[in-house]
Chains A and B, each alone.
Chain A
Amino acid sequence: MSEEKTGAQIMCEALIREGVEVMFGIPGGAIMPFYFAMWEYRDQLRHVLCRHEQGAGHAAEGYARSTGKVGVCIGTSGPGATNLVTPIADAMMDSTPLVAITGQVSSAVLGKDAFQETDITGITMPITKHNYLVKRIEDLPWVFKEAFHIASTGRPGPVLIDITKDAQQARMVPDWDVKLNLPGYKPNYQGNRKQVREAIRLLMSACKPLIMVGNGVIMSGATEELRALAERTGIPVITTLHGIGAFPEDHPLSIGMPGMHGWVHVNRAIQECDVLLNIGGRFDDRVTGKASTFAPNARVIHIDIDPSEIGKNVKVTVPIVGDARMVISALLEEMPDRSELATLHSHASDWMEHIREMQATHQHKQQYIARPDVPMYLPPHDVYAALTRIVNQHGNYRIVTDVGQHQMWAAQLIDWHRPRTHITSGGAGTMGFAVPAAMGAAIAHPDETIWAICGDGGFQMTNQELATIVQEGIKNVKVAIINNGYLGMVRQWQELFENKRYSGTPLSGPDFARLAEAYGVRGITVEHTDEVADAINTAYEYDGSVVIDFRVEREVNVFPMVPQGKSIGDMITESPIV
């Protein structure tokens, strides 16, 4: 046991101790000692060689988001490290547990503009939960232990460890008996009981209560508890973009997604509600619209593990700092008997009836899925209608979406049932997320079908990872490109608000099916509605990864929509109603 090891070997052993099985990265000069050592540990630590560090970072995110475990990505110093900046920022915004490992130039030349030197700890300071510059081999065991602890606990997030080349090359007998020394880091998991009782008192007094759930419910694994809370109280449930999957959409209490591209009846319900219980969501501006006009009649109960989120965007009546699962459990424990809940139930049931009436008056998901009235050769809605039908027939799937129109259609038009099946770049809105993140999820779940839905713009940002998919023998990634030849969401804004001045949005691309074939995956082109189902079925039947190029109608908009800076009560839709 008391054998001398290099810093690089200690890094590998630290990763194994933290339960890491797979890492995504690209080698380079300053990280070479780590790659040298990695070869010895290759049976325990799988390394996936990506084609760009951004791909490596998003792949680690996809792995993390689909499993709840910490994703690990690796880059060398300088450009290797700066290419990781986008996925690190993405992980920060979406609270994704990520450890990024970067090589750094030797400590002797640190700060002297050495070859491929970049101050990556300085650069990533505002976009990491924490970061470390390690210059001494003896610091490696505790730094790795702390980094994984910080990344995965409390509100999860990215941690970067930058390690000088000489620290990787040095030798010592590692001392694994390290304790966490984090006096300033004590996440509060248990909600304050007094506040929990206060929340119940408020809910009991409500006539029009709503539960809104975000990513926190999924990350804390609170879906069962949430369901129990909703069923016990009869309160309608809203799932935000990142809350999708936390509550099954076919449940009678599910009313759908709020916000900029949420449903009219959901936003109307928020504007009318008198008590709003937000669990694990951060009142993002895409949810609230103009924050000062959001839920004007509501007293708000906000459950969040991060105290700095409470009161940030929306005024809160009852704040509860804690883990979503533990606080919901506490709510259930403190909840009065069924008989005492009769009044709440009766109010909630009348309220639900009212919401369903609004839903019937305005756009309903099922109507919306139907083909638009204008004749088109391939409306994007037909692709989603077929996708939701076929993927739910097969089951055992996850869907990773990119950023833009296709992302909103996916959130709206697919029927979501299970947590961690909807994975998207929400807070940062990172185009290029889907293909590499789907690859990461596919490695974590080789027995499932991982769909990546992306636009032709986002696909062209990171499609080089198709080469990684082929090299790694990954057979379960199925890419659906909603190809409209535009940066579609920007084009939609230009159409609606800038008098169709299509500045910088028309977009050409290669023949994606032939590009896919050139990479060695199956490529399929779809131009008409009647070919959609066949293509999706072929993707399922084909023993390997597939790219389907859905050449959809070019100028279709995502509706309903809240224009920027407007209240969520002011939605615009295609329909003359509203």
Chain B
Amino acid sequence: MKKHTIVALMQDQPGALNRAVSLFRRRGYNIASLAVGHSETPGISRMTLVVESDDVEQVVKQLYRLIDVVKVSDVTDDPTVDREMALTKVHTTSATRAEIATLADIFDAKVVDVSTNTMIIEMTGTPAKVDNFVEVMRPFGIKEMMRTGRIAMVRGTNTHRGAEYVESNGHVATGAVLN
């Protein structure tokens, strides 16, 4: 099955995320990752969702149908910048501390917390690079890990801006219309 990266803009309302995610549940699709946060436009949040499926076209159309959803794109085949962040708490000893710090440096990661026998490392990169980093850390003993899930943005002048759908008064928009 193909992994699809879907970017959606939606109104920042209670229930909006629930409704969007529910559509995938209804079809029995497992969501591999999900990242949601504010977009550049007040009142519009932006979601990046990674889902494994051979047929997402119908779900994308159904996402459009949700009242809260302003814009949806399947950017899987577009040139995108993809990033993910991971916080990893690694077991350390006086013997391994320096080696871990050097490895973190090689990955452009930052040591953000140190204790007598742990270190938290903040790592940002493509999901593949994060995978690599996690594998390199694993032999030292990963005590805790949290990954944000992928966020994606299409390269170049094409934009997915919430402002395109919201008028200056913050009200009714020109709209995302298929056809």
Seen from chain A, the residues whose Cβ lies within 8 Å of a Cβ on chain B are 121-122, 125-126, 129-131, 133, 150, 179-186, 188, 191-192, 195, 306-308, 310-312, 320-322
Q: Smallest CB–CB gap between B39 and chain A, Å?
A: 12
Q: Assess the A126–B22 pair: CB atoms within 8 A.
A: yes
Q: Assess the B179–A183 pair: CB atoms within 8 A.
A: no
Q: What 5 pairs across the A-B complex have the smallest Cβ distances?
A: A186-B175, A183-B173, A308-B61, A184-B70, A307-B178
The complex places the Cα of A185 from the Cα of B65 at a distance, in Å, of 8
The count of chain B contact residues (Cβ–Cβ below 8 Å) is 35
Residues of A within 8 A of B71 (CB): 184
Instruction: Name the CB-closest residue of B to A313.
Output: B58
Residues of A within 8 A of B18 (CB): 122, 125
Residues of B within 8 A of A183 (CB): 11, 44, 70, 162, 165-166, 172-173, 175
Residue from A126, A129, A308 within 8 A of B26 (CB atoms): A126
16 A–B pairs (Cβ distance < 8 Å), ordered by A: A125-B19, A133-B15, A179-B172, A182-B67, A183-B11, A183-B162, A183-B173, A184-B67, A184-B69, A186-B177, A188-B179, A306-B65, A307-B65, A307-B178, A310-B61, A320-B179
Task: Report if A129-B67 is in contact (Cβ < 8 Å); known contacts: A186-B175, A186-B177.
Answer: yes
Q: Assess the B61–A186 pair: CB atoms within 8 A.
A: no
- Say yes or no for B62: interface residue by CB 8 A criterion: yes
Q: Smallest CB–CB gap between A213 and chain B, Å?
A: 21
> Which residues of chain B in 1-29 are interfacial with respect to chain A, using CB atoms and an 8 Å cutoff?
10-11, 14-15, 18-19, 22, 26
- Say yes or no for B128: interface residue by CB 8 A criterion: no
Task: Report if A125-B15 is in contact (Cβ < 8 Å); known contacts: A184-B70, A186-B173, A312-B58.
Answer: yes
Residue from A130, A311, A321, A322 within 8 A of B57 (CB atoms): A311
The complex places the Cα of A317 from the Cα of B178 at a distance, in Å, of 16
The complex places the Cα of A181 from the Cα of B71 at a distance, in Å, of 15
Q: Assess the B177–A184 pair: CB atoms within 8 A.
A: no
Q: Assess the A181–B70 pair: CB atoms within 8 A.
A: no
Total residue contacts A-B, CB cutoff 8 A:
77
Q: Smallest CB–CB gap between B168 and chain A, Å?
A: 13
A126-B22, A183-B166 given; 4 more Cβ-contact pairs under 8 Å: A122-B18, A130-B67, A185-B67, A185-B175
Instruction: Name the CB-closest residue of B to A309.
Output: B61
Instruction: Name the CB-closest residue of A to B65.
Output: A308
Instruction: Name the CB-closest residue of B to A184.
Output: B70
Residue from A125, A150, A182, A310 within 8 A of B172 (CB atoms): A182
The complex places the Cα of A180 from the Cα of B166 at a distance, in Å, of 12
Instruction: Name the CB-closest residue of A to B165.
Output: A183
Residue from A126, A130, A186, A310 within 8 A of B176 (CB atoms): A186
Q: Assess the B67–A308 pair: CB atoms within 8 A.
A: no
Instruction: Name the CB-closest residue of A to B162.
Output: A183
Q: Assess the B173–A180 pair: CB atoms within 8 A.
A: no
Instruction: Name the CB-closest residue of B to A154.
Output: B65
The complex places the Cα of A517 from the Cα of B162 at a distance, in Å, of 62
Task: Report if A181-B64 is in contact (Cβ < 8 Å); known contacts: A125-B19, A186-B176.
Answer: no
Residues of A within 8 A of B162 (CB): 183
The complex places the Cα of A129 from the Cα of B69 at a distance, in Å, of 12
The complex places the Cα of A47 from the Cα of B169 at a distance, in Å, of 38
Task: Report if A184-B57 is in contact (Cβ < 8 Å); known contacts: A125-B15, A125-B18, A133-B14.
Answer: no
